[in-house]
């Protein structure tokens, strides 16, 4: 696929770059209607999940045409207004963030029943994310040796156990798994969601942490607390029985885990995937990780991260 090709009547106008996905995206046109063509190695899985979410009125892009054999689909063009573009300069739109939280709750609750997903966010996946952080960020990006990172094993294990124990009534819901500002769009005054193909079944706070501890957008702690409280009231109204203190405890543990996952991704994308601009977000990611380590006591990991910030 290249710019200028015509596929099933869709003319490819330009390639959309800058994202972290392995997929390829092209802005295309057919009979004056603008759309986006996507090449996706896992297209069939994506389409099954897209149909499920669309049937449950979750705000995913409409699919106009697809070819599983060619691993290509054409979907609705959501336009330029991502949450990242709206708020990247520090002008946090609380009204839009609340809309994003409303849509997140619909995804997590309304999208759960019958979701075509077998993967769970469990201890094995938590440990996988930690290894991802260790290998790509600590070793490849920061230059630590495997022996130097081996001392962190007890903290990693303790964090995994703590997350699973704290999840309790918050576990077993549909997770987007990358619910951050670059995957959330505003079109016709409605939130729209992309990059949901990594969805899992797991704890509610993970997606909220991805949204509010987002290295792409600088959300001040006071705004984070307000939005976290807004989300908490929304899930209480959906019947989730957990007190505020236990909810915040679980959120802070998962936010710490999410910050490590994001740093691993930034390092991997910049070093190994020929996308060096993702390194720009590492300082903010480290700041968020350090905030998480100030909230929870993982002394070995905190010592390593503090040394990087000096």
Under-70 pLDDT residues of the chain: 18, 20, 309-310
Strand order in the sheet with 63-67: 6-7, 10-16, 24-30, 33-39, 72-76, 63-67
Token output for 245: 């203190």
Please tell us whether the domain made up of 83-308 is placed in CATH 3.90.1200.10: yes
pLDDT at 23: 87
Over 4-61, what HEC string results? CCEECCEEEEEEECCCCCCCEEEEEEECCEEEEEEECCCHHHHHHHHHHHHHCCCCCC
pLDDT at 250: 98
pLDDT at 308: 78
pLDDT at 309: 64
| H or E, element range at 144 | none
Q: Per residue in 252-280, pLDDT tens?
A: 999 999 999 999 999 999 999 989 999 99
pLDDT at 310: 57
pLDDT at 22: 79
Q: How many CB atoms lie within 10 A of CB 155?
A: 20
d(CA 4, CA 24): 15
CATH number for the domain whose boundaries are 6-76 = 3.30.200
> Is 227 in contact with 179 (CB distance < 8 Å)?
no
pTM: 0.95
pLDDT at 213: 98
d(CA 150, CA 109): 39
Q: Per residue in 207-217, pLDDT tens?
A: 999 999 999 99
Pinpoint the residues of the chain covered by CATH 3.30.200.
6-76
Token output for 196: 């949901």
């Amino acid at each position: 696929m290249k710019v200028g090709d015509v596929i099933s009547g869709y003319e490819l106008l330009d390639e959309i770059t800058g994202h972290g996905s392995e997929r390829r995206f092209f802005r295309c046109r057919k009979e004056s209607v603008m759309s986006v063509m996507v090449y996706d190695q896992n297209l069939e899985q994506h389409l099954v999940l897209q149909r499920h979410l669309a049937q449950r009125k979750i705000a995913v892009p409409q699919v106009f045409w697809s070819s599983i054999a060619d691993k290509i689909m054409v979907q609705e063009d959501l336009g330029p207004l991502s949450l990242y573009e709206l708020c990247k300069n520090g002008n946090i739109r609380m009204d839009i963030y609340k809309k994003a939280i409303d849509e997140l709750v619909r995804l997590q609750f309304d999208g759960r029943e019958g979701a075509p997903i077998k993967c769970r966010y469990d201890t094995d996946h938590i440990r996988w994310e930690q290894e991802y952080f260790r290998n790509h960020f600590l070793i490849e990006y920061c230059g630590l040796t495997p022996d130097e990172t081996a001392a962190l094993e007890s903290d990693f294990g303790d964090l995994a156990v703590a997350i699973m124990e704290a999840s309790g009534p918050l576990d077993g819901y549909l997770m987007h798994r990358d619910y951050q500002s670059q995957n959330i769009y505003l079109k016709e005054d409605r939130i729209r969601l992309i990059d949901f193909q990594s969805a899992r079944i797991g704890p509610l706070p993970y997606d909220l942490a991805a949204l509010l501890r987002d290295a792409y957008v600088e959300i001040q702690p006071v705004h984070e607390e307000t939005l976290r409280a807004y989300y908490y009231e929304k899930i209480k109204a959906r019947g989730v029985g957990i007190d505020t203190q236990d909810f915040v405890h679980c959120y802070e543990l998962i936010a710490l885990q999410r910050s490590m996952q994001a740093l691993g991704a930034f390092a991997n994308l910049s070093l190994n995937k020929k996308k060096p601009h993702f390194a720009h977000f590492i300082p903010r990611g480290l700041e968020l990780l350090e905030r998480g380590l100030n909230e929870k006591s993982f002394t070995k990991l905190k010592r390593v991260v503090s040394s990087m910030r000096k």
